[in-house]
Structure 1
Amino acid sequence: MKKNFSSTRVSTDVACFLGFLGGGGAERVILNLTTGFVNRGLNVDLVLANTGSPHLWQVPPEVNIVDLKARKLSSSLPALVGYLRRVRPPALLSTLHYTNEIAIAAKYFARVDTRVVVREANQLSLDVGQSKAWKKRAIPWFVRYLYPLADGVVTVSRGVAEDLSRVCGLPLEKIQVIYNPTITPDLGIKAEETLNHPWFEPGQPPVILAVGKLQAQKDFPTLIRAFARVRERTAARLMILGWGPDRSQLEALVEELGLQEDVALPDHVANPYAYMKRSTVFVLSSAWEGLPNVLIEAMAVGIPVVSTDCKSGPSEILKEGEYGLLIPVGNPQAMAEAILTVLSGSSRAIAPDWLEQFSLDYAVNKYLEILQVT
């Protein structure tokens, strides 16, 4: 267990606020940014509504963890107000809902000069539209009234920026696009780590890989149906790394299609990059995204990619299809044909400087600019 828990810090250059340190992409981005900030010699606070997380070991030891001790996110507002009044960090970065809204409101109630920047990570209209929960469907209303009070609004892609502007009426010129700091110095090192799995031994059929939470957004049923078509024409295997609520439905579909011997769902793994490095093709089957980190990671380790042309992110990442195959959303036949094209040996070279915009150093520079931290 980490020892760097505190309620205050003598000097803080930048604070990052999360409700809970989960294992998702947004939390991974914040962890990467905190690493980048401390590498620039900055004092960083990671402010959490509560610290009941198994992922705290991933926080860099130089980062000061501030536990607001809130039983739930909604009750963290008074504690965050108190933190801002005591510490008065020059800048506060937050991500996710309702963390962003609480951060903006906390500055208002604390009456401090802290510069609050909020980060929007997904297509708000699609994300909210898929939910029946009233709390989630109320997000656009809160965003419409609170985001204009933020000192800065960041989105992870142009598509997310356009969607946010359209849904919430925020002018595009008030939104800055900063791609995720996905490519970190240790990514290549992790990709080369030993992987003990029989599917990746010499002489085995090629592995088609997907990574993501097992939920509707990722549309893994389309991928499984596409794989059934691929297997009719060539020997191959499909591996989906991830956890989530749709596991039982996906397992039932695999059984229904008779694919049990060639499809694996091994749950979440600590190092997906070793699997990426040894797979033949990476597939993103999502129905919608903000900016899919896994697609960038797969490109960074050198695996050919196939992706749905969903809103938003993949077309930006793949330079409108120049660096990977883009296919329609929810079309298993098109997905199967694209996978077969890659399995036949066809791939697209990526310009060496293209991936730089997704690197940690590039993102840190952009975030420090909008946070106005030097």
Structure 2
Amino acid sequence: MTQRKRITFFLDALHGGGAEKAVVNLLKGLAQRNEFDLDLVLATKEGPYLDLVPPEVRIVDLNMGRAVKATLPLMSYLKKNRPWALIGNMGHVNVVALMAIKLSRIKTKLVLVEQNTVSGNQSKLKRAKLVELLMKWLYPHADAVAGVSAGVARDLEERLGLKNETVKVLNNPVVNEDLITHSQASLDHPWFAVNTPPVFLAVGRLNPQKDFLNLLNAFAQVRKQQEARLIILGEGEERPALEATIHNLGIGKDVLLPGFVKNPYVYMKHANCFVLSSRQEGLPTVLIEAMACGCPVVSTDCPSGPEEILDRGTYGLLVPIQNSAALGEAMLATLKNPPEQKLLMQRANEYSTEKVVKAYLSLLHEL
């Protein structure tokens, strides 16, 4: 009997972000095919997505806290298990994966996937600048480098000095049966009762990148013209600033910040409009998820992803980043004239787990 090939994914942990969700969905899709042994190697075994990992996947805990400390333990894992392929999914994680591969001196296909544009990283920390320098040095040694959108791919080539069209595009897997099933769960929330004001929804970490301060200012403009409510699902360091802004704008009765919610899809199913207010993205998963649930969407035209997902505004209005007036107008316009649910759902299916898994396997077999 031929021994099954092993595919390994490497991450910091399974915190509630887009990269982590993408890896979980990839593992689900690969597990359903029942063709490979699957490992998920974590620098530390923690995070709300742990219980979403399919039982067929072996979770390996390096118990190192953060990926930056995990180079030698990952090298030991590679020497012992010799996977057919190793896949990383974020800059600093990818750097560690590449160093571990080099040190282990084993033949493993290495695919490095970037979730965000490198040029959009505004961090002034020396660590962030060091990671980019290491990316420039190490990424050419990977078997394949990919961005989750064409925008991310082209940005990587320009920022890291890679040859044009050498960075592949591997979209994140977003739409699957689990998403649709969860969206159809019951939602016992008074804001979604019959004959209540329309509800806007946003989902993401409460950090500067998501620019929820911009969304709050846009929503305040909407409230001056009609009754409406806003729910922002997620947790993060900007909570105090957001709560202060809500108070200062006098919209406290119409805004909720419930924190991280394991099933945001049922909210997407019932919301009147989903809003992405980000300054920067790679391929905003939540935008696709909302469309898959049939929810009309409005997005900033940030780099990168929204323009590709919405086909330059065909499937939802695009507005400039950090422009609360334009965002508020687009929110109102979408309430008055929402697109057909069927069209949104069809577009979202371009990012199905089945299609993306096929793309990953096709690339691996080419290497």
Indicate yes or no: 2:241 matched with 1:249. Answer: yes
By how many angstroms is 1:94 displaced?
0.9
Q: Which residue of 1 aligns with 2:178?
A: 186
Q: Which residue of 2 aligns with 1:101?
A: 95
Q: Which residue of 2 aligns with 1:333?
A: 325
C-alpha distance 373-83 of structure 1, shift in aligned 2 (>3 A): farther
Q: Which residue of 1 aligns with 2:363?
A: 370
Q: Which residue of 1 aligns with 2:287?
A: 295
- Cα deviations across residues 87-124 of structure 1 (Å, max 9, x unaligned)? 11111111113210111111111111110101100011
**Which moved further from structure 2: 97-106 or 292-301?**
97-106
Q: Which residue of 2 aligns with 1:111?
A: 105
C-alpha distance 72-337 of structure 1, shift in aligned 2 (>3 A): closer
Tell me, in whole angstroms, the C-alpha distance in 2 between the residues paired with 1:345 and 1:18.
42
| 1:267 aligned partner, one-letter code | G
By how many angstroms is 1:146 displaced?
0.5
Tell me, in whole angstroms, the C-alpha distance in 1 between the residues paired with 2:210 and 2:169.
23
Tell me, in whole angstroms, the C-alpha distance in 2 between the residues paired with 1:95 and 1:59.
16
Tell me, in whole angstroms, the C-alpha distance in 1 between the residues paired with 2:164 and 2:345.
30
**Which moved further from structure 2: 42-51 or 193-202?**
42-51
- Cα deviations across residues 236-267 of structure 1 (Å, max 9, x unaligned)? 11111111100111111111111011111111
Q: Which residue of 1 aligns with 2:150?
A: 158
* Equivalent of residue 260 in structure 1, options 236, 252, 264: 252
Q: Which residue of 2 aligns with 1:7?
A: none
Q: Which residue of 1 aligns with 2:83?
A: 89
Q: Which residue of 1 aligns with 2:24?
A: 31
By how many angstroms is 1:352 displaced?
6.3
Matches within 5 A, 1:26-175: 26-41=19-34, 42-127=36-121, 130-175=122-167
**Which moved further from structure 2: 78-87 or 28-37?**
78-87
By how many angstroms is 1:348 displaced?
5.2
Tell me, in whole angstroms, the C-alpha distance in 1 between the residues paired with 2:292 and 2:164.
30
C-alpha distance 353-271 of structure 1, shift in aligned 2 (>3 A): closer
- Cα deviations across residues 114-137 of structure 1 (Å, max 9, x unaligned)? 10101100011112xx21211012
Tell me, in whole angstroms, the C-alpha distance in 2 between the residues paired with 1:172 and 1:348.
38
Contact 1:207/1:238 (CA < 8 Å) preserved in 2?
A: yes
Tell me, in whole angstroms, the C-alpha distance in 1 between the residues paired with 2:102 and 2:85.
14
Tell me, in whole angstroms, the C-alpha distance in 2 between the residues paired with 1:346 and 1:61.
40
TM superposition score normalised by structure 2: 0.95
Tell me, in whole angstroms, the C-alpha distance in 1 between the residues paired with 2:48 and 2:223.
38
**What SS does structure 2 have at the residue aligned with 1:16?**
strand
By how many angstroms is 1:186 displaced?
1.2
| 1:237 aligned partner, one-letter code | R
Tell me, in whole angstroms, the C-alpha distance in 1 between the residues paired with 2:345 and 2:22.
23
Indicate yes or no: 2:276 matched with 1:275. Answer: no
| 2:18 aligned partner, one-letter code | G
Tell me, in whole angstroms, the C-alpha distance in 1 between the residues paired with 2:191 and 2:279.
28
Tell me, in whole angstroms, the C-alpha distance in 1 between the residues paired with 2:334 and 2:62.
49
| 1:69 aligned partner, one-letter code | N
Tell me, in whole angstroms, the C-alpha distance in 1 between the residues paired with 2:345 and 2:337.
21
**Which moved further from structure 2: 80-89 or 68-77?**
68-77
Matches within 5 A, 1:230-249: 230-249=222-241
Q: Which residue of 2 aligns with 1:345?
A: 337
Tell me, in whole angstroms, the C-alpha distance in 2 between the residues paired with 1:123 and 1:240.
24
By how many angstroms is 1:235 displaced?
0.8
Q: Which residue of 1 aligns with 2:347?
A: 354
Tell me, in whole angstroms, the C-alpha distance in 2 between the residues paired with 1:333 and 1:249.
20
| 2:324 aligned partner, one-letter code | P
**Which moved further from structure 2: 74-83 or 267-276?**
74-83
Identity %: 45
| 1:300 aligned partner, one-letter code | A
**What SS does structure 1 have at the residue aligned with 2:51?**
helix
By how many angstroms is 1:353 displaced?
4.7
By how many angstroms is 1:177 displaced?
0.4
C-alpha distance 354-133 of structure 1, shift in aligned 2 (>3 A): same
C-alpha distance 268-53 of structure 1, shift in aligned 2 (>3 A): closer
C-alpha distance 53-207 of structure 1, shift in aligned 2 (>3 A): closer
Q: Which residue of 2 aligns with 1:211?
A: 203
By how many angstroms is 1:12 displaced?
4.7
Contact 2:113/2:147 (CA < 8 Å) preserved in 1?
A: yes
Unaligned runs of 5+ in 2: none
Q: Which residue of 2 aligns with 1:4?
A: none
TM superposition score normalised by structure 1: 0.93
- Cα deviations across residues 153-203 of structure 1 (Å, max 9, x unaligned)? 111011111111111101232211011101111111111101111101111
| 1:28 aligned partner, one-letter code | K
Contact 1:117/1:152 (CA < 8 Å) preserved in 2?
A: yes
| 1:114 aligned partner, one-letter code | T
By how many angstroms is 1:54 displaced?
4.6
Tell me, in whole angstroms, the C-alpha distance in 1 between the residues paired with 2:310 and 2:362.
26
Contact 1:91/1:372 (CA < 8 Å) preserved in 2?
A: no
Tell me, in whole angstroms, the C-alpha distance in 1 between the residues paired with 2:262 and 2:137.
39
Contact 2:292/2:349 (CA < 8 Å) preserved in 1?
A: no
